[in-house]
Structure 1
């Protein structure tokens, strides 16, 4: 039976379509993605809850993938330090072929069943950590090998795939199987499959960061203040949360270096 990710597009003669029709049909297909993700919320919830306890005990989250899936894992991981102020080594994205594969495909890197575990061991991975394999097809040897080895070493594993009942879904302890249907361009999993993976990764990492206390109210109080836009955002957060004027907010933020610390100092000075 043909994998869902390899099934023929619901559309044909794409080259004969007008630009408007191409864009409209892509958009029609994209509308199906969020609905497909909604169906796997119970599995995402299970993963986040398992992650939370391990993270609070010092564990880490590793994403492993090849091609688009690997790049999406790296993208999500790279946003955790600036957004939530976490050390860069707490959420780690690993791609088949190494960092050079982020920009340029490395031939046959995804076919190596042993390399992912070697890559993970370079981080001294242990039983407090969690490994999430990402593979639209659910058959990528690099990902399957890594998940299998991690599981054999007592490490919790999850798998994000767009082919239900794929080898990845069978091998991972927490399978997240997102059926988005065939792609607009047959087999182009950078489209709906990739979009669904991005949504799920957003949900996993954001929910985890909220659960471990890196968000207060609805604010990124631990964000890194690395440019003027973020400093202005931090000042605005303080003004809104603590009802102070801009000058006071700016002074506290400059003195204490983070929104969270500035809030604590303001509240301490007020006696609560």
Structure 2
């Protein structure tokens, strides 16, 4: 079989500029390193991430305030992302109900390729610029909601398309990206940019970029839920009693807050189902 090359007049589609998350690793010859050298090198890069996230706090503060406002007015928080970024959004969304006692569906994580993509890659899913809006429409999204796109590269079509269409329809938009000046950030009203630079393994954004995204999402939903009154003092008083560890934690909270014994705390928690409700009942509220 003869390979026929295109003529010189053929117009190739040029590659986009290389983003910093795709640029070559600062480390090389990795296969020659000892295990200890590999671990220390990875850890040395990981230690740079908290400072980079700290620099983005002014942007994140604006996004948190916008999210609080929407949720206070009956809206929801949607995450859209692909690959690692999508999985992190699904993870953060799934942990809000058990941690803060909010309803399922208040925070919703959508990933390119659907739930199948949580466990395995779905070919070309992230390249579909129309699919994110279809996924959002399936949840009857309205202009009371807010959509946050998550993309390490900042150029994922699934995310860009979802943000652009949301914004066109008057829906608030934010993003978490790991490159400066990206198309995703341009499509979002409230962008959060944490430029994390080259990865230890070139282009493996599940590492530094993923760590930065996880930190930002932790901060976004935790600060939002505290602002919404879902934490008392420093305690998760609305957490779901989903296992014995959490039941024990709830009993300790009641014992500390009310100055009662374990047996009385256990009875209160059994009768009322949550730490907050048990405290209210005990205090006659």
The structural deviation recorded for 1:159 is 1.3
The structural deviation recorded for 1:212 is 0.2
| Structure 1: tracts of 5 or more residues without a match | none
Alignment of 1:134-153 (within 5 A): 134-153=150-169
Q: Is the 8 A contact 2:82 2:112 kept in 1?
A: yes
Equivalent in 181, 187, 210 of residue 171 of structure 1:
187
SS state at 1:9 partner: coil
Count the aligned residue pairs. Answer: 269
Equivalent in 212, 217, 226 of residue 242 of structure 2:
226
- The whole-number CA distance in structure 1 between the counterparts of 2:108 and 2:18 is 33
SS state at 1:180 partner: coil
- The whole-number CA distance in structure 2 between the counterparts of 1:242 and 1:71 is 40
RMSD of aligned C-alpha atoms?
Answer: 0.7
Residue in structure 1 matched with residue 62 of structure 2 by the alignment: 46
1:56 lines up with 2:72 in the alignment: yes
Residue in structure 2 matched with residue 191 of structure 1 by the alignment: 207
Residue in structure 1 matched with residue 174 of structure 2 by the alignment: 158
1:99 lines up with 2:91 in the alignment: no
Alignment of 1:202-213 (within 5 A): 202-213=218-229
- The whole-number CA distance in structure 2 between the counterparts of 1:243 and 1:49 is 36
After the TM superposition, list the runs of 4 or more consecutive aligned residues in structure 1 that deviate by more than 2 angstroms.
none
The structural deviation recorded for 1:267 is 1.0
Alignment of 1:1-272 (within 5 A): 1-268=17-284
The structural deviation recorded for 1:2 is 2.3
The structural deviation recorded for 1:255 is 0.5
SS state at 2:97 partner: helix
Bigger Rg, structure 1 or 2: 2
SS state at 2:48 partner: helix
- The whole-number CA distance in structure 1 between the counterparts of 2:198 and 2:104 is 36
SS state at 1:175 partner: strand
The structural deviation recorded for 1:19 is 0.4
The structural deviation recorded for 1:171 is 1.2
Output the TM-score relative to the length of structure 2. Answer: 0.93
- The whole-number CA distance in structure 2 between the counterparts of 1:189 and 1:236 is 40
SS state at 2:173 partner: strand
Cα deviation code 1:61-103 (max 9, x no counterpart): 0000000000000000000010001111000000000000000
Q: Is the 8 A contact 2:100 2:237 kept in 1?
A: yes
- The whole-number CA distance in structure 2 between the counterparts of 1:201 and 1:23 is 25
Cα deviation code 1:222-248 (max 9, x no counterpart): 000011111000000000111111111
Output the TM-score relative to the length of structure 1. Answer: 0.98
